[in-house]
Structure 1
Amino acid sequence: MRNLDPELQAVIRDLEAALGEETLEKARYQLRMKITQFLVGLLTSLVLALLWLPTGWAVALRDALHANTVWWRTWGFILLVTLINAILQFPLDWFFGFRLENRLGTNRQSFGGWLWDRVKQAALGIPVQSLPFLGLYLIFRRWPDRWFLGLVGIVVVFLGVFYLLQPVFLRMQYKAERLDDPELTERLRWLFAKAGVPFAGLSVIKASEKTSRGNAALVPRGAGTEVVIFDTLIEEVGPEGVEGTIAHELGHKVHRDMLRLMSLMGALLIAAFGVGYFVLQSLGTWDGLQGPIDVATLPLLELTVAWLGAALQVLINAYSRRREIAADRFALEMTQQPDVFERVMVALLRQNKHLPQPPAWIEALLYNHPSPARRVLMARQFGKALSARPA
């Protein structure tokens, strides 16, 4: 903290005092696990590639399925490899997804309930995530010299489908229902009208059955935009806090941040897959492989994309933090309640077990939001400027 701005240091001390030592200790532990999970993820992708390729398993499975002959055999190979990888990674999934949440005190599910949620998510997630790889191999075979335009099309379609499926994934995990709260609904209707965004209602996610964490989002619904918010957050911050939270999400909507972020992610994905193509091409016929047209190279393609993606994530996070700051400013201008903003930040810190200010290098590498302390400092500075404005 010694190298930080004195105002920021004061905010950090205030937030730490509000959280208490028990919550801070859990937040420190979660941060250590976040770093561990990042490093383990990189190592796991390498280990899986080594299991499939030097052992000859990928080539043997390709030959057994005749996976390079027709599209549905290629897809079968991709699905089978992805499923086997998911099973091999299950112990890590259990530790970081279930055991860690128990340790933090945020989990309210039994192991059986958590496992069933994972099965449901995999049943939809594995086929969806396999489709871009299927498309890539088909394009590499059909247009070996003109594959780039096909790659661009695949990434655009995949990101669009993935965005549209987010509400489906959310409702697969949590129950949702329309919230019968006329006062809160009217608050949000007014807020949406002020922002110039069509309001499509308010739904509450029954997250408290499974977790103590809080969150909120805006999702497309017909020609309008629907608010979905965790019941845990409503209970913690009340109507004013919900209004401030949704004002932040409206900032993203008005600024078209999702389109901006998806465009950046799309460009970086295209770059990563493009590098992957040249990596596969450089292999030639090594160890029974046949270059980019051969689906048996899938583990190496996944490794390349995973490692490049981790490196490029720094750029995505930096851009995302800028957009989050802009959304915070939008919310403060809309509501003009910096004290409520700070109260919501404290509630989210407490619910989600985050530190007010992680080390700068960790924030740059792993965080797509500015640190809570920096956001609260901005709110306090806004409050001072607001009080100095002429009435």
Structure 2
Amino acid sequence: MLYFLGFIYIFFYTIPNIILNYLQSKHIKLSLARETVILSPNDWKDAAEYSLEKLRISNISSVIDALMFLLWIGVGLYWLEDASSSWGQSQNIVYLIYVMAFLLVGFIVSLPLGYYTQMVLDKKYGFNKSSFSLYLKDLLKSFVMLMLFGGIIVFFIIEIMQNFSYWWLYGFFLIFAIAILANVLYPTLIAPIFNKFTPLNDDVLSKKIESMMVKVGFKSSGIFVMDASKRDGRLNAYFGGLGRSKRVVLFDTLLQKVSQDGLLAILGHELGHFKHKDILKNITIMGILLFVLFFIAGNIPIYIFDNSNIVPNPGIKIVFLLLIAPIISFWAMPIIGYFSRRAEYGADEYGAMLTSKRCLAEALIRLVNENKSFPCSHPAYIFFYYTHPPLLERLKALDYHMEK
């Protein structure tokens, strides 16, 4: 029965991913032969080539993930089951090591493609500014956080599984609470682990931003500039945190490349998300997805493990949850994407109201030019993967017409 899960994984996750990547690749190649839009001819070509290379990497990643899934259900779970007997006397510690070994293997397997994407491909197209030593430091920090915080969370889940019949329900509440707490702590405790944040040293711009926030009723703990250029050349800005931890974060690359009016338009868009309570809606959607995952993991039919030497202990159940999570997430993406794209249109409308349609449209065009985002995508690819509407559609909604 476990091998049937391999068929489900490949048929409902790997193959659809590869098909969507093929459709997107074909669409980009056909678009290359047409007249350029938004981007200059050179950037149009670079953006297309970058997108095509990312799609090829995605295909390789999909194949590796499928092979790893098959290896886990065919050999890996048996190996962990046998090896766990020599890992200690405490059952819960054995289960913890079992899950952490699974996470460690996944982390190691992801390293080659992750390195190539960041240190080779992104450098080739001028995005990655990180040195090799900084890359290693970030990697080490990510590893420590995975092992430390991941280990603590897994340990508590195991304790819940050992003490409650409806462990999946209590486990869901725990992870959901941790996810909300992470959003609260992210701006002040988590993000500074990787980046430096300094107060915005521009009184005129600060006053304009604060004036916009007052209009919307957004209370912030401060306006900060992030040293994004230390690692990446792309532009961005966001409002991070929940409650009193909310703060405005501007990438230093954004301040360097976008006009003040454009920056205010981008922040107006983000304030639109706050005004429409999109963050709370996203948390609700995330909660529903988590609930589904835990429900499935907590109600695994025992017969799945028939004719195998695997005992469905707490460690196995957590690993099973992690194995099936990509399938559930993939088929939830169209739903998440649909509501997210609608929210983006609403935020654009609100941002344009706070500034102007033209300011926002030109700021969005600037972002696409600097980030070399290819503006044309296949409808199926948009349906599954896009959380933001295609730029041409957003410009149309803003009544902005490209000059020829």
| TM-score bucket (shorter structure) | 0.7 to 0.9
> Out of 287, 290, 295, which is 2:308 matched to?
287
- Which whole-Å deviations, capped at 9, do the CAs of 1:305-325 have from their partners, x for residues lacking one? 122112212211121111111
- 1:74 positional shift: 2.8
Specify the alignment match of 2:91 in structure 1.
Answer: 69
Q: State the distance in 2 between where 1:198 and 1:41 align.
A: 42
How many residues align structurally? 367
Aligned-pair RMSD on alpha carbons? 2.8
Specify the alignment match of 2:103 in structure 1.
Answer: 82
- 1:240 positional shift: 1.0
1:202 lines up with 2:223 in the alignment: yes
- 1:121 positional shift: 2.2
- 1:129 positional shift: 4.2
- 1:67 positional shift: 8.0
TM-score normalised by the chain length of structure 1? 0.85
- 1:221 positional shift: 7.8
Specify the alignment match of 1:91 in structure 2.
Answer: 112
Question: Which structure 1 residue ranges, 5 or more long, are not aligned?
Answer: 1-12, 383-391
Specify the alignment match of 1:377 in structure 2.
Answer: 396
Partner of 1:228: helix, strand, or coil?
strand
Specify the alignment match of 1:387 in structure 2.
Answer: none
Question: Does the 8 Å CA contact 1:79/1:130 hold for their aligned counterparts?
Answer: yes
1:112-123 matches, within 5 Å, as 112-123=133-144
Specify the alignment match of 2:382 in structure 1.
Answer: 363
- Which whole-Å deviations, capped at 9, do the CAs of 1:260-311 have from their partners, x for residues lacking one? 11111111121123223334634335532212x3414544332211221122
Specify the alignment match of 2:289 in structure 1.
Answer: 268
Partner of 1:287: helix, strand, or coil?
coil
Specify the alignment match of 1:8 in structure 2.
Answer: none
Q: 1:57 to 1:95 in 2, by over 3 A?
A: same
Give the partner amino acid of 1:374.
E
- Which whole-Å deviations, capped at 9, do the CAs of 1:121-145 have from their partners, x for residues lacking one? 222244434555444443333223x
Indicate the larger mover: 35-44 or 120-129. 35-44
Question: Does the 8 Å CA contact 2:240/2:247 hold for their aligned counterparts?
Answer: yes
Specify the alignment match of 2:192 in structure 1.
Answer: 171
Specify the alignment match of 1:10 in structure 2.
Answer: none
Q: State the distance in 2 between where 1:52 and 1:254 align.
A: 45
Question: Does the 8 Å CA contact 1:247/1:334 hold for their aligned counterparts?
Answer: yes
Q: 1:136 to 1:379 in 2, by over 3 A?
A: same
Q: 1:33 to 1:164 in 2, by over 3 A?
A: farther
Aligned residues with identical type, % of pairs: 21
Specify the alignment match of 1:389 in structure 2.
Answer: none
Q: 1:29 to 1:282 in 2, by over 3 A?
A: farther
- 1:118 positional shift: 1.9
TM-score normalised by the chain length of structure 2? 0.82
Question: Which structure 2 residue ranges, 5 or more long, are not aligned?
Answer: 1-32
1:1-391 matches, within 5 Å, as 16-55=36-75, 56-66=78-88, 69-70=91-92, 72-144=93-165, 146-167=166-187, 168-220=189-241, 223=244, 225-279=246-300, 281-284=302-305, 286-291=307-312, 293-335=313-355, 337-380=356-399
Q: State the distance in 2 between where 1:360 and 1:69 align.
A: 50
